[in-house]
A = this chain, B = another copy of it.
Amino acid sequence: MRVVVLRLGHRPQRDRRITTHVALVARAFGAEGMVMVGEDKGVKGSVERVVERWGGPFYLESIRAPIPYIKGWKGKVVHLTMYGVPMGTVMGEIKAGEGGILVVVGAEKVPREVYGLADYNVAVGNQPHSEVGALAVFLDRLFQGAGLDREFQGRLKILPDPRGKRVLDLGLQ
């Protein structure tokens, strides 16, 4: 299943850390890449460093305008919003069939048009919380937990440990 995350409404500086978290969650939970509106060197640098050290494939792409991108998407468009329908009621439909899934994640204000263009406006709970948390849980459920099991081909690899930190650095071998 091909999944791309579209991050809307990024405000440079102010949203830098949150957008970076959104991108890293997208990567860790199984999306192939993230598209964001506008450029932010901070976000780009952080994501590139993670991909370089911990592996890919994962890309970060900047676009100018989200609406044409959404209109041009071949596949389903899922907009995560606290105002949407409960995730559980549409997850089966979203998973079914062919084509990629574009997961749209907004910052503070999302243009009204996005609600109309999305095939699904989906709530990860109808309470205010976090686009980072919403994306993580949505992807976790979409991939039925398997998104997290993806193997990355990076230089660094964690050896899970019950008590400490063990990291294998393949660059040193």
List A residues at the B interface (Cβ < 8 Å). Answer: 17-18, 21-22, 24-25, 27-29, 50, 54, 82-86, 88, 112, 115-116, 120-121, 123-130, 132-137, 140-141, 145, 148, 152, 157-158, 160-167
CB distance from A169 to the nearest CB of B (A): 14
- For A29, A112, A126, A167, the residue with the greatest tally of chain B CB atoms inside 10 Å of its CB is A126
A161 to B83, CA, bound (A): 6
Chain B residue nearest to A22 (CB atoms) is B130
Main secondary structure of the interface of A (DSSP, over half): mixed
Given A17-B17, A28-B133, A133-B136, residue A128 in contact with residue B162 (CB < 8 A) = no
A54 to B127, CA, bound (A): 7
Q: Inside 8 A of A25's CB, which chain B residues have their CB? A: 129-130, 133
Instruction: Say yes or no: B132 contacts A152, CB within 8 Å.
Output: no
CB distance from A27 to the nearest CB of B (A): 7
Given A116-B163, A121-B162, A140-B137, residue A130 in contact with residue B24 (CB < 8 A) = yes
Q: Inside 8 A of A24's CB, which chain B residues have their CB? A: 127-130, 133
Q: 6 smallest A-B Cβ distances: which pairs? A: A133-B136, A21-B130, A28-B129, A126-B158, A132-B132, A25-B133
